[in-house]
């Protein structure tokens, strides 16, 4: 059975987390400029997603107003994917009013550049409340993708329909290993090989990654065969 794999280059951006706002802006100026330059000059680099946060563009334009037309052109060419949020919000402990306004202002911000991504993309919220499907539907959003908030044994698959408190339904994709797995890949070639051959495999086995991806039971001998093949590759 053939499977099509979609690789989406993207950022995960904490405007304020373990560093200051000023340091965040320094990183943003460098990183987003690199993205713009790459999208304009490298035809093999088809698109880039800016973590669904319109506030990043506002911050960047304050310091680099000359790049506003560049951003507009890339957004309208569907090469720079933005929105729909204003900033990545928690969705569990804050009020519904805060979530609604975050989405509303994010969409308005993104519309000044072009179309926004009509997906409830939330890779790092510390949980989701039961009224999120209702909020998404009210904004015309039918699909959402998130990481946190669902433990590995709560659902059988990574793709499912989520029914909210009021009965609203959105199609949901859960990121089983989080947004950070690429950031954990060692830069050293030898260490990187070991990471792919051992750590990723062990995580897949522990979290039933194949079962959740293929939506069927995976016999133990399949895992044993894969482990044997990886060991043979490592010793070549």
Catalytic residues: 124
| Count of C-beta atoms within a 10 Å radius of residue 98 | 12
For 96, the token pair is 């519904």
Q: Which helix (H) or strand (E) holds 120?
A: strand 120-122
Q: Could you give the CA distance from residue 88 to residue 152 in angstroms, rounded to a whole number?
A: 23
Question: Whose CA is closest to 179, among 132, 206, 142, 145?
Answer: 145
> Are the beta carbons of 142 and 171 closer than 8 angstroms?
yes
Helices (H), the chain: 21-41, 54-63, 68-76, 96-111, 132-138, 189-194, 200-206, 209-214, 220-235
- In degrees, rounded to 5, the angle at the alpha carbon of residue 158 between the alpha carbons of residues 53 and 52 is 5
CA distance linking residue 138 with residue 52, whole number of Å: 18
CA 173 vs CA 148, 189, 227: distances in Å: 11, 32, 27
Closest residue by Cα to residue 178 from 139, 156, 145: 145
């Amino acid at each position: 059975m053939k499977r099509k794999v979609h690789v989406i280059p993207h950022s995960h951006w904490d405007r304020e987390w373990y560093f200051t706002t000023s340091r965040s802006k320094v990183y943003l100026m460098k990183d987003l400029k690199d993205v713009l330059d790459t999208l304009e000059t490298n035809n093999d680099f088809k698109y880039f997603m800016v973590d669904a946060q319109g506030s990043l563009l506002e911050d960047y334009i304050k310091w680099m107003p000359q790049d506003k037309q560049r951003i507009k052109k890339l957004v309208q060419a569907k090469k720079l994917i933005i929105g729909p949020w204003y900033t990545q919000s928690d969705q569990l402990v804050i009020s519904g009013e805060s979530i609604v306004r975050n989405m509303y202002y994010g969409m308005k911000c993104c519309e000044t550049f072009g179309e926004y991504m009509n997906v409830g993309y939330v890779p790092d919220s510390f949980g989701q409340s039961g009224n999120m499907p209702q909020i998404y539907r009210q904004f015309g959003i039918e699909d959402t993708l998130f990481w946190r908030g669902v433990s590995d044994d709560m659902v059988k698959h990574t793709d499912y329909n989520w029914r909210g408190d009021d009965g609203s339904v959105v199609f949901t994709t859960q990121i089983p290993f989080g947004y950070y797995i690429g950031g954990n890949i060692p830069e050293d070639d030898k260490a990187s090989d070991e990471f792919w051959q051992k750590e990723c495999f062990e995580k897949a086995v522990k979290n039933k990654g194949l079962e959740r991806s293929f939506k069927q039971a995976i016999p133990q001998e399949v895992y044993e065969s894969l482990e044997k093949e990886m060991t043979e590759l490592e010793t070549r």
